[in-house]
A and B are shown apart, each in its own frame.
Chain A
Amino acid sequence: MTQSSTTSNPATVRPKFSFDGLLRKNAIAIVAVLLIVLVTLGNPAFLSFFNIANMLSQWAPAGLMAIGMTYVIIVGGFDLSVAATFSFAAVMAAMVGQTMPPSVAFVAAIAVGAAVGAVNGALVAKLKVNPFIATVGTGFIVTGLTFVLTGNVAFMVSDPGFSWLGANRIAGVPYSGILLIVSLVVGGVVLARTYYGHVIYAVGGNAEASHLTGLRVPLIEGSTYLLLGALTGIAGFISASQLSSAQANMDPNIMFDVLTVVIVGGTPLGGGIGSIGRTAIGLVIIATISNGFVLLGISPYYQNIIKGVLIVGALVLESVVNRKNAAS
Chain B
Amino acid sequence: MNTTSTLSAYKAGPPLLSVHGLHKRFPGVHALKGVDFDLLAGEVHSLVGENGAGKSTLIKMITGALHPDEGAVKLAGTRVEELGAHERRARGVNAIYQELNIVPAMSAAANVFLDAPPMRGPFLDRKAANTQFEDLCARLEVSIPAQAPARSLSIADRQMIEIMRALSRDAQILIMDEPTATLGPSERQKLYGVIEGLRAEGKGIIFISHDLGEVLDISDRITVMRNGAVVDKGPRSGWTRERMVHAMVGEARGTLEPRAAETLGGEVLRIEGLALPGRLSDVSLAVRKGEILGIAGLVGAGRSELLRSLAGLEPTARADAFAIDGQVLPALPASVRQAIGAGIVLVPEDRKNEGFVPLMDGDSNVALSDLGSVTRHSFVDRKARHDLARGVAKAVGFAPERLSTPVRNLSGGNQQKLVIGKWLHIGPKVLLLDEPTRGVDIGAKADLYRAIRDLTKDGLSVILVSSELEEVLEHSDRIAVLTGHTITETLDRKDATMERVLSLIFAQKEAS
Interface residues in chain A, defined as those with a beta carbon under 8 Å from any beta carbon in chain B: 1-4, 6-9, 12-14, 17, 193-199, 201-202, 205-206, 208-216, 272-273, 327-328
Contacts and interface: CB of A to CB of B under 8 A. Distances in A.
B366 to A, nearest CB: 10
Given A2-B52, A7-B28, A328-B26, A202 B378 contact: no
Interface string B20-49: 000000111110000000000000000000
Interface of B: 26-30, 50-52, 227, 311, 313, 336-337, 340, 346, 348, 353-360, 364, 368-369, 371-372, 375, 378-380, 399, 401-402, 411, 413, 422, 441, 443-444
B27 A17 contact: yes
| Secondary structure class of chain B's binding surface, majority of residues | mixed
A13 B29 CA distance: 9
B354 to A, nearest CB: 5
A12 B28 contact: yes
A7 B336 CA distance: 37
A196 to B, nearest CB: 7
B27 A328 contact: yes
A153 to B, nearest CB: 45
A4 B371 contact: no
A328 B27 CA distance: 6
Given A7-B28, A201-B357, A206-B356, A213 B368 contact: yes
A92 to B, nearest CB: 31
Contacts of A7: 28-29
Contacts of B30: 6, 12
A212 B346 contact: yes
A2 B50 contact: yes
A212 B337 contact: no
B227 A6 contact: yes
A211 B360 contact: no
A4 B26 CA distance: 14
7 contacts: A1-B29, A1-B411, A3-B227, A12-B29, A193-B379, A195-B380, A273-B359
Given A1-B52, A215-B368, A195 B356 contact: no
B422 A213 contact: yes
A179 to B, nearest CB: 22
B353 A208 contact: yes
A293 B422 CA distance: 53
Given A202-B360, A206-B354, 18 more contacts: A3-B52, A6-B30, A9-B28, A12-B27, A14-B27, A17-B27, A193-B380, A194-B375, A195-B375, A198-B364, A198-B368, A209-B355, A209-B356, A210-B368, A211-B336, A214-B337, A215-B368, A272-B358
B353 A206 contact: yes
A208 B422 CA distance: 15
Given A12-B28, A194-B378, A215-B368, A205 B357 contact: yes
